[in-house]
Structures are given as C-alpha cells and as structure tokens.
Structure 1
Amino acid sequence: MPSYESYDGSALHYDDVRRKGSDGDKCPVILLAGGAARHPSYLGDLAGLSDRHRLIVPHLRGVGLTAAPDQEERGSFWAQADDIEHLRVHLGLDRVVLVAHSAGTRLAIAYAAQFALRVARLVLITPPAAYLVDEPSDAHVLSEKRRGDSIFEAAFAALEAGPQTIDDDGFNAWQQESAPAGYFNWDATERSHATIGRWSLPATKAYFSVPPPRDLAERLGQVLAPVLVIAGAEDCLTGLLPVAALARLFPAGECVVIEGSGHYPWVEQPAAFRGAIDAFLEQPSKSAPPRG
C-alpha cells in the first residue's frame, strides 16, 4: 500500500483506486471517510466513481494501516488538514478535488478553511452541519416517519442512548445496533453495507479532541472553489434543512437532494448519486468571484 510522510515524520497510508483503462489520472480525487474514524472500505468506490477518476483514499490517523499519533490532538480533524496538505504535495497536485462523507466532511472543511487556494472542488456528502449553521435540525421530523417500525425504533433508541462502552468491540457493536437509523430502507443491500468498515474508538475520540476555531463558518466565505453538498432527503442522522443551509456558507456552493436516501446515497440511490457528482466534477472549472 502506498504511503507518504507527513509534517511530523509519520508514515500515513492510502488506497490508490483506479480502474484499468480509465482516464482517472486526469482528475484524481482525494476521498475522505467518515465514521468518525471508520475504515474507508465502507465507501467502496462510490458507486463506480473510479471508472472516471483515480481515487486516493487516506487511512486517517489511527484507522486501517495508519498508526495512531503520539499526541491525541494530531488525530483531530482540524490537525489532520496538514496531513491532507502533505498528501497533496506528495501527489504532485497544484490543487485538490476533495470528496468527503459524513464526519469526513469536517476534515474536508478544515482543509478548505486552512488551505482555500489549494481547493479545486469540494464535495460534501451528507455532512453534519449543526456546528456551522443556525438552521434548526429537522432530523426528528424525518425520524417520526419511521415510528411503528420496530427495526428503526430500536436503532433510534440505541442512537439516543449512545455507546455504553469503553472498548472497540463494544463501540462497534453499538454502531451495528444503531445502523438502520442511517438508511431509508433496511433491505439486503443496506444490511450488507452496514457491516463493512470497522470503527476505532480511540481514533474517534482523537478526531474530536480539538475544537475548530469559532470563526470557522465565516472562513468558509473565503473558499471560492465550487462546492457541492449532497443531502439525503430522508437522512435521520443529519436532517435535511441544516445540510442545505451549509451549502449557502460557500460563495459557489450548491445543494443536491437525493430522494429515497438516508445517510449513504451512493448505496441506496447510486444512479441519482452518480448523476449529481459526475455533473459537478465534469463541469468547466470556475470559482465564485471574490467578495468585496
């Protein structure tokens, strides 16, 4: 597996996913997993995105083959932005296309806030947004639609109770127990997907060990690159309204809502997901005009 050296001398690993015969080298994509601190295998290749783009998938600190840092704060999403910058240099890219899912969008946003001029495009898939926007969450409204279904009610109860554990096995068991809450349906496809990609509890704690700056939302107004926010219309984890509001923080932000989808739109609605992300990644390059 390829690796590179980051700012503190640590060897950080990544997957290099590309289909034989594709022209993906023309537009490589750095793909960031969520979880937080979930093994990126659950992303697959985003419904076949590797047929058009080379996917560079980092194993974040403490996840997969990348060791946990000596200092917990270096595993925070804010600090790992420096890792992504060193990855950009390692790959020889002038600017990067970042695609991130869920908690991985925190890292993508942290990178954009700190290295705005190095961002060519940014895709945020079902991002948590409550820490950035004032829009009240409608997640409870969406979850009310599932009342009466014992599988979803049990998942929501587990989610609300939180993990009652201090070890990785217990943490992963809780993730499986609450997994149906992340999907619109709970059929064979969703059940199979939920089992892919193990979480690291220590890496999860490290990921949130450093709070972002208070002016982070304001900083996003300086990110002039095109930004696509992809929301699941039935995402009971993030809600819909805050996710849509997040897109408005970016001068060149737009939001696409995937109907019939929860937190994993490439799994539940792959055609609609690919239609949205392909159109965005392949449109002519442009940025928002500077403000002021």
Structure 2
Amino acid sequence: MASIDTSAGRIGYLEQGGGDATPILFLHGVGSDKSVWQPQLDHFGRSRRAIAFDYPGYGESDVREGATRDDFAAAILAGMDALGIGRAHVCGLSLGGVIAIAMHAAAADRIASLIIADSFAVHPDGQGIHDRSVAASQAMSMGDLAAARAPLLLGKAASDELKAGIVATMAAIDPATYRLGAAAVWLADQRDRAARIAVPTLILCGDEDSITPPSLSEELARLIPQSRLEILNGAGHLANAEQPKIFNEAIDRHLSEADEIR
C-alpha cells in the first residue's frame, strides 16, 4: 500500500506498469477501497501506468470532514497532479462511476475517455438506499453491515473467497466515511453532466446487478453522446472482481479505439 501528499491531503493509491501509453485510473465503490482493482492493475499494468486511488477517508487517504462527490473528484485530480499525470482514461465502478462523471465536469480536458461500470446518472431509489445505508451504519458494526450487504453485491457464481474479501474490506471502513460515500453516490443526480460528456465512453454492467441494474446503464447510454454499452454475463454489482477477464477485455477494446483517436 502507498500514499502520496497532494493539494487535497494525503491520498492512498496503488500503481503498476509504465510506458508512454495514456494511463488508466480506477475508482472504487462506496463499500470498497483501491484494493478491489488488483485484477485490473495486474492486467493493464502490462501495457501502461495503471493506478487505483482511495477517496478521502478511505484506505490510506486522509479524512476530509463533510467531503462531497465533487470533493472526491477534486482529490483524484490532485492525486493525478502529484503523480505527474496530465490526462488519463478514468474507470469508475458504482460510486466510482459517479466520481468519474464529476471529474469530467470539473476538468474535461484531463479525461481521455471514461469507463463507467455498474453505475448511473440518477438512481430512482437513491434517497431510500441512502437512508437505509446510513441507518444500518448507525445501528450495527461495519463488519455486520458488510456481512449483510455482500450477498446483494455479488452474482450467483461469486466464490466464497471473493465474498470474504469484500466483507473484510468493507468492515475496515470508518462508519462516518461510509456515510459520506453513501451521500456522494446515492443522492447524485448528474443527468445534465452526463449529457455534456464529450469523450469516448464505455458503459459496463453485470447482468445480475440488482443494485444498479442494466436499465440504469441503458439510461446512461442514452444520455452520453459518444457511449457504448456492454452487458457482462455472470456478474453482479462488482463486475470487475467477479468477471475480471471479460471486464478487462471490454476495456481493452475500448482503449484500443480511444487511443487511436487521441
């Protein structure tokens, strides 16, 4: 694990790879941290710099009281500055997809392309999910919340090992940080921002995702002009961890096209 001092405080990150190709950044979900992206770091680090960041309060990142989704986006942009990355492909899952859209709104010139996985512009039950998440984080330990939540996040074929890893990662999150993340993701309405996205965008969603179902990705695809939607078979909400091979292959195809029009 590593961290770096930035203008937004200390930010945790993992990095693999190098070379001249445009780097790719990975942004995690509300109940996770940078470690969930290890299958992608291993794969994409063979051809370019691949970096997974923690948001403020997560992993090795400094806490920022009252941080919003735009503060999370600003922290990732500050992390890019600190690592000498001017422009990158940005891949975000769930909350990460929300933050990726916010990054484009804040600094479109720094976004080479977007990959938005198992996410949305606005969630029809966002307020309800937020309120239930906050109440649960106050009524039980994060370990108990993680154990209850994990089965909902994963598709039918997910291994016990993956489920245990998801639970352990979520259990380590500070409850106050989790509540900030819940507000950042579930209360988002970024339909106007999504409609203004002007870079090639790949939208991915697991066909077994019950939390952000494919219909929300279909809505994103209608909103974002230069977008393509791919549904990933055999994956729930954490498609990158459940089906890393097909997840990575879809991004490889996207990067091949996006790098050509750079």
Aligned: 1:176 with 2:150: no
Q: What amino acid is the match of 1:286?
A: I
The structure where helix makes up a greater share of residues is: 2
Q: Shift of residue 122 of structure 1?
A: 0.7
Alignment TM-score, normalising by the size of structure 2: 0.82
Alignment TM-score, normalising by the size of structure 1: 0.75
Decide which of 207, 221, 233 is 1:233's aligned counterpart: 207
Instruction: Please tell me whether Structure 1 or Structure 2 has the larger radius of gyration of its CA atoms.
Output: 1
Q: Shift of residue 50 of structure 1?
A: 2.5
Q: What amino acid is the match of 1:66?
A: S
Mapped partners of 2:52, 2:25: distance in 1: 6
What is residue 60 of structure 1 aligned with on the other side? 55
Residues 12 and 60, structure 1, Cα contact 8 Å, conserved in 2 = no
Decide which of 22, 28, 46 is 2:23's aligned counterpart: 28
Aligned: 1:49 with 2:50: no
CA gap 1:85/1:77 in 2 versus in 1, 3 angstroms: same
Q: Shift of residue 196 of structure 1?
A: 4.4
Superposed CA offset, 1:241-277 (max 9, x none) = 1112112211111111001111122333222112101
CA gap 1:222/1:130 in 2 versus in 1, 3 angstroms: closer
Segments of structure 1 that go 5 or more residues without pairing to the other structure are: 138-158, 288-292
What is residue 160 of structure 2 aligned with on the other side? 188
What is residue 250 of structure 1 aligned with on the other side? 224
Mapped partners of 1:35, 1:211: distance in 2: 7
Mapped partners of 1:207, 1:64: distance in 2: 13
Q: What amino acid is the match of 2:77?
A: E
What is residue 4 of structure 2 aligned with on the other side? 3
What is residue 174 of structure 2 aligned with on the other side? 200
Please state whether the residue corresponding to 1:4 is helix, strand or coil.
strand
What is residue 195 of structure 2 aligned with on the other side? 221
Please state whether the residue corresponding to 2:10 is helix, strand or coil.
strand
Residues 225 and 286, structure 1, Cα contact 8 Å, conserved in 2 = no
After TM superposition, the structure 1 = structure 2 runs for residues 10-25 of structure 1, keeping only pairs within 5 Å, are 10-19=8-17, 23-24=18-19
CA gap 1:206/1:192 in 2 versus in 1, 3 angstroms: closer
236-245 or 182-191, which moves further after superposition?
A: 182-191
CA gap 1:184/1:209 in 2 versus in 1, 3 angstroms: closer
Aligned: 1:277 with 2:247: no
Q: Shift of residue 211 of structure 1?
A: 9.2
53-62 or 10-19, which moves further after superposition?
A: 10-19
Residues 121 and 189, structure 2, Cα contact 8 Å, conserved in 1 = no
Mapped partners of 1:18, 1:281: distance in 2: 17
Q: Alignment identity in percent?
A: 22
Mapped partners of 1:190, 1:4: distance in 2: 31
Q: Shift of residue 110 of structure 1?
A: 0.8
Aligned: 1:103 with 2:95: yes
Mapped partners of 1:183, 1:208: distance in 2: 18
Superposed CA offset, 1:99-120 (max 9, x none) = 1111111111111112122210
What is residue 261 of structure 1 aligned with on the other side? 235
110-119 or 252-261, which moves further after superposition?
A: 110-119
Q: What amino acid is the match of 2:169?
A: G
Q: Shift of residue 164 of structure 1?
A: 3.3
Please state whether the residue corresponding to 2:122 is helix, strand or coil.
coil
Displacement over 6 Å in runs of 4+: 210-215
Q: Shift of residue 202 of structure 1?
A: 0.9
Mapped partners of 1:189, 1:183: distance in 2: 12
Segments of structure 2 that go 5 or more residues without pairing to the other structure are: none
Count of equivalent residues:
251
Q: Shift of residue 31 of structure 1?
A: 1.2
Q: Shift of residue 83 of structure 1?
A: 1.8
Mapped partners of 2:247, 2:186: distance in 1: 30
Please state whether the residue corresponding to 1:251 is helix, strand or coil.
coil
Q: Shift of residue 25 of structure 1?
A: 5.1
Residues 77 and 208, structure 1, Cα contact 8 Å, conserved in 2 = no
188-197 or 110-119, which moves further after superposition?
A: 188-197
